[in-house]
Amino acid sequence: MSDIHTITDLAKEFGITTRTIRHYEDEGLLSPRREGQNRLFSHRDRVRLKLALRGKRLGFTLAEIRELFNLYDLARDENRQLQEFITKLEKRRALLEQQREDIEVMLNEITFFENQCKKLLAKNPAQPTVA
């Protein structure tokens, strides 16, 4: 695999639009070099794009991803970066678990009301429906 990638190469590889890649560049996540109008992305940019896309799938904002990248770029000690990442993961897990609980409550309520409606319909099957 080449160490230099075009925006089109990366878009095809990761199944995203070139507009997304330009947005990530605008957000400070990628820093390609320019040759005329062309953006040339390094292996480092490719890895950062891959990590950013993973971070988005985990629910991190681009600002949070940028913070992690900046911490990595500035950190002399990898432990600080890892601890910060663990903290962000723990917060994300707590949020997702709360959302899962909320969804379960809503699903139970939907099931309850659905069953209530079915019981009422079973008691009064002959009533005409209103259009």
The one-character DSSP state at 6 is E
Supply the pLDDT for residue 93.
93
The one-character DSSP state at 58 is T
* Amino acid found at 75: A
Across 42-46, 77-81, 103-107, 118-122, least confident range: 77-81
Q: Per-residue pLDDT tens for 58-113? A: 889 999 899 888 877 776 677 877 888 889 889 989 999 999 999 999 999 999 99
Residues 97 and 54 in one domain: no
Residue 63 lies in a domain: no
Question: What is the pTM for the complete model shown?
Answer: 0.69
Domain end (from 10, 27, 58): 58
